[in-house]
Structures are given as structure tokens and as C-alpha cells.
A and B are shown apart, each in its own frame.
Chain A
Amino acid sequence: DSGVTQTPKHLITATGQRVTLRCSPRSGDLSVYWYQQSLDQGLQFLIQYYNGEERAKGNILERFSAQQFPDLHSELNLSSLELGDSALYFCASSATGGRGYTFGSGTRLTVV
């Protein structure tokens, strides 16, 4: 157990739908990062939050959004889902930026 909790572990949904992925960071970590892992794109950085504020943005689609709540858990919202959104979505947390992250076990999203 890495200390970073992601739910759900698996999600199957239809095209056009909206889903929410949840991440609870390791105790004491203020930064949360979201990554998408797919076979053709590899590990892509999506977005980072630090203590509730968005700090860095990567290759995140406009259909995707995220937020970090006062208790530091984070949610990634994916809407108008397409088949190509099928991927593993990882959350990671860190105490100090750039010093190494702790990853959760991921949410496997399948869009059918």
C-alpha cells in the first residue's frame, strides 16, 4: 500500500458519458498530480494541484477537469467520453514538488 488511494479501480462506461475519478493523497502530502497512461501515448501529465490550487497543467483535454478539496483529496472529471479516453489514470502525491512522487494503483477506464 503506497498510501495514495484511488477509486474506483475499474470503470466501464459508454461514449458520451461523464465519470469522476477520486484520489486521496498520502498523509501530509499537499501536491496531487494526475497522469494518463495509454498504449499509444505513454505516461502523460495532465494536471497538478497544490494545497487546493491548480499549479501546473499538461496535456489535459478541455473535456477533462480536476479539483482539489480542502481535505486535499482530488477528483478528476472526464466528460463527453470517447473511445480514445480508455486508459489507466494515475494519481500521485508528493510533499515537496519535484522530489519524487508516490503513485496510487490507478483507475482503469474503459469506454465502450
Chain B
Amino acid sequence: AQSVTQLGSHVSVSEGALVLLRCNYSSSVPPYLFWYVQYPNQGLQLLLKYTSAATLVKGINGFEAEFKKSETSFHLTKPSAHMSDAAEYFCAVSDEGYSSASKIIFGSGTRLSIRP
């Protein structure tokens, strides 16, 4: 069974500082990995996804994530935080990428706060 663990339910950084949100996954097969963002009172928006191509994945809004198989990690980073980045971030994993019967398993989420 697949699972993801997000380290830190709440992360606070200063505006302009590096953002680092941690995610470790568990999967018995090569996984598909995702980061989603949820702004208040909104649905989830796909930030980026890893589908076994390049290990460094670039997403929207300046975010990127690196797939490290040896560490079973898929941490999300952004060089310089902006106030508009304040939101809930979810890491997710799927290991049935080639099947029409699939589901994505989400981590518990990390709330990112930005200090002025």
C-alpha cells in the first residue's frame, strides 16, 4: 500500500525566505507523486507532478520538487516566499498510473504561513 508522510503540520517563513515543505512516500512500485495547494475555501490545485521523467520537477508559481528515490522523498521548495503562497499544501502518491482504476493518497497537509 502507498502512503505519504508530510513532516510538519505548520511551517512559517518570512517573506522572501526559502520555502521547504517535506514529504516522504512509501510505495511498492515506482510512484507517481504530486503536490497540491489549497487556498482557503477553495478546491485543490495541482502544483506539480512527478511521473518518472526528470527527477527535478518544476511547477506553477515558482515551486519545484525533487524526487529522491534513495531517500523516498519528494520535498517541495520555492527560493523566495511571497505572501500569496500562504495556503495548505498536500503531498500525494499514486502507484496505479497505468490503470484506469487508481486513486491518489494524500498526506495530512502542511499549512504554510508567510510572515511580513
Name A's B-contacting residues (CB within 8 A).
2, 4, 30-31, 33, 35, 42-43, 45, 48, 50-51, 55-56, 58, 90, 92, 96-106
A97 engages B105 (CB within 8 Å): no
Docked CA distance A55–B103 (Å): 9
Helix, strand, loop or mixed for chain B's interface?
loop
Name B's A-contacting residues (CB within 8 A).
32, 34, 36, 42-46, 49, 51, 90, 94-106, 108-109
B90 engages A48 (CB within 8 Å): no
What are 15 contact pairs spanning A and B, CB under 8 A? A31-B102, A33-B104, A42-B106, A48-B102, A55-B100, A56-B102, A97-B99, A98-B32, A98-B102, A100-B32, A100-B34, A100-B46, A101-B44, A103-B44, A105-B43
Query: B31's closest neighbor in chain A, by CB?
Result: A98
B43 engages A100 (CB within 8 Å): no
B106 engages A105 (CB within 8 Å): no
Query: B106's closest neighbor in chain A, by CB?
Result: A43
Shortest Cβ distance from residue B6 to the other chain A in the assembled complex, whole angstroms:
10
Residue of B44, B95, B101, B105 near A90 (CB, 8 A) is: B44
Shortest Cβ distance from residue A107 to the other chain B in the assembled complex, whole angstroms:
10
